[in-house]
Structure 1
């Protein structure tokens, strides 16, 4: 592997293929760590192609993961350790990197963003984005907590993403349905119970370098609504009144300051209530749902590449948006897929930037209950939010799929 310029040596845990590639393009030599259970061998081959070496371990074994991070950091004399993937394995990696003096963030700062209860306690103590909240250590405690807290209320795991285990509970039947869903998903808690926030939802992407926070953009979210709030689409930039946009930016940067977060991307979800912005949750990583692509389509700013350019000492600033970008998620009837048409025609359209439909005839389409069980997506650009909505609607219509219902237990 050739190195046209050297920004340093980087150990990345759970790096997506394009992140390794963009880190190398920024001048870093990269060693990558993955759990082979989490990605197909062909995908890991792509990661390895951009890496000095691909190291494999079980992310569920925290001691082994920490030992591998320490050994690789010593052997390869790395300058930084980064984890930009799932929160589930982030805590032990950042803790080990901090102990080695190789993490741009403290483990405490990352926990204060990723752990929903810790984040809420931090904000409430500071009088920022105050929201009533209670914690339940396990599933059995949720019902008595709700009885004292009052309904309606939102219940969710303290450590999860992608709408997993989130529900608005208004009745005993809602609670029973939610409990069945989290049991089936193997979510054991702890959980938090929060007041139900009313208002439109937004995602806020930030990039922090040296403790200074840049709000890269605000994205308007569309969800299925209660009880599960599964995200169905987004538009970027969010069509917002300037005063509301500034209030959202100020609230999010206040959270980042309070947590002590110093470097990297963060993805923060906000509801704009009648009383002002209220943070729903935050994660010390890039946003999912192709939001970085929406930012790039709308502004020309590659947020993923900017992470490594900032780490290399470059000044990275996101320009203003010059058009809108939207993603719409396919949500087809669950069952066995008999036929599908329109995917190739959709990809060929000039205003379509990405189409993902990973199913073929004979595959079973799951019932959509969270972000992981949606059926794919299309990303489009448009000169206005209204035209973006029209193009997403046309993309949904263009995907012509026929499914046959099958028993629920087979989904």
Structure 2
């Protein structure tokens, strides 16, 4: 693995796999020359042209062809004498890219660390080596195996794919009927196994954002999560910073850094989800990337700290940044309207003009069909606000929804997570 320098690297050439446009832009601003590698099936030409605008070159690959992807990583790295290979996109291709980078001596993390973090079953197996972090779990290859695993344990239990994200294929099983509904959903949506069946953890849930360098970990922030609850646990909102006592905050941080140490994680961002149970914190899952759901924007809104930019600062000089100090609160709410045809909305321009609104995303126009909300990808939009208190943040988000004034002619589709708030 390349050593992170004490000063700006003499070789500032970086190969980024699946880089989002703002990451390439911030890497270049930090002094790097970037070669970007994307699968054009995953982003449209307009988006990829933005990536290309900031890149030395935009290379295209089929991410489903692992051998071809690894070959292109090797060819590009050698041709342009890059210093390191960085992948902060989706988890599916992280491990093979890291394995190739490791073979070339250009990996920022060992492939084994990424496999342990991104594979929910491997992560659970790693954590279950000590009693204080154990959560009873069993891996199942097929839905039929899930049925056998459920038959051999007490309920309730949670079932989830080991390699999926965004709440796809996640369900709380309390009865045989729940299992039937889950199996029908994963078959209908094409959510592949293997699956993990594990204890249902109760308690407040948090997202923990960290940055690492040389195997040292720095807490950037803890976000309080809101979900739709069972059966699908779709995330409905976040508050930053989380309202935690100092002992609870320290316990959540210890659980997170202990996990990163066990996995051998050395560099970059990690996004770890933790439930604070009556027996102490338990890790739900973790990913070797930045948090989704606009968590970086919440951190920046509350504290002015740019976690994306900080990644390239670490890559430049190897030093972990000072932790941010929030001076206000930030919150996001995801819109969950009834499924049906959108018949009207309020003035979205007036919402965006509010000084406390930092983002409004509602990509729907009257006449369009709104799907039922069954996972993160099917939520109908979001708003981000700042406030002096969490209570004021709730009032401001209520105001945004009232001004949005979305009206829907319902179609009678599934509403278990698509009902209006």
Alignment partner, residue 341 of structure 2: 336
Alignment partner, residue 44 of structure 1: 48
How many residues end up aligned between the 2 structures? 407
Alignment partner, residue 274 of structure 1: 278
Q: Secondary structure at the match of 2:172?
A: strand
Alignment partner, residue 327 of structure 1: 332
What TM-score comes out, normalization by structure 1 length? 0.96
Does residue 348 (structure 1) correspond to residue 353 (structure 2)? The answer is: yes
Q: 1:135 to 1:5 in 2, by over 3 A?
A: closer
Any residues of structure 2 matched to 1:2-401 within 5 Å, and which? 8-313=12-317, 315=319, 316-401=321-406
Question: Contact (CA 8 Å) 1:6, 1:29: kept in 2 or not?
Answer: no
Alignment partner, residue 405 of structure 1: 410
5+ long unaligned stretches in structure 1: none
1:128 Cα deviation (Å)? 4.4
5+ long unaligned stretches in structure 2: 1-7
1:342 Cα deviation (Å)? 2.6
What is the aligned-residue RMSD (CA, Å)?
Answer: 1.6
Question: Contact (CA 8 Å) 2:269, 2:288: kept in 1 or not?
Answer: yes
1:127 Cα deviation (Å)? 3.7
1:171 Cα deviation (Å)? 0.7
Distance in 1 (CA, whole Å) between partners of 2:131 and 2:254 is 13
1:88 Cα deviation (Å)? 1.2
Distance in 1 (CA, whole Å) between partners of 2:246 and 2:292 is 25
Distance in 2 (CA, whole Å) between partners of 1:299 and 1:57 is 38
Residues 120-139 of structure 1: CA deviation (Å, up to 9, x unaligned): 11111144421111110111
1:101 Cα deviation (Å)? 0.9
Residues 257-316 of structure 1: CA deviation (Å, up to 9, x unaligned): 000000010000000000100000000000000001101111111000000110101532
Residues 162-218 of structure 1: CA deviation (Å, up to 9, x unaligned): 111111000111111111111122112000100011101000000001111001000
Q: Secondary structure at the match of 1:285?
A: coil
Distance in 2 (CA, whole Å) between partners of 1:271 and 1:242 is 16
Q: 1:7 to 1:246 in 2, by over 3 A?
A: farther
Q: Secondary structure at the match of 1:204?
A: strand
Q: Secondary structure at the match of 1:214?
A: strand
Q: Secondary structure at the match of 2:233?
A: coil
Instruction: Tell which has more relative contact order, 1 or 2 (C-alpha 8 A, sep 6+).
Output: 2
1:338 Cα deviation (Å)? 2.4
Q: Secondary structure at the match of 2:231?
A: coil
More displaced 10-residue stretch of structure 1: 335-344 or 219-228: 335-344
1:72 Cα deviation (Å)? 0.6
1:241 Cα deviation (Å)? 0.9
Residues 114-164 of structure 1: CA deviation (Å, up to 9, x unaligned): 001111111111444211111101111001100102211000001111111
Question: Contact (CA 8 Å) 1:139, 1:188: kept in 2 or not?
Answer: no
Q: Secondary structure at the match of 2:394?
A: helix
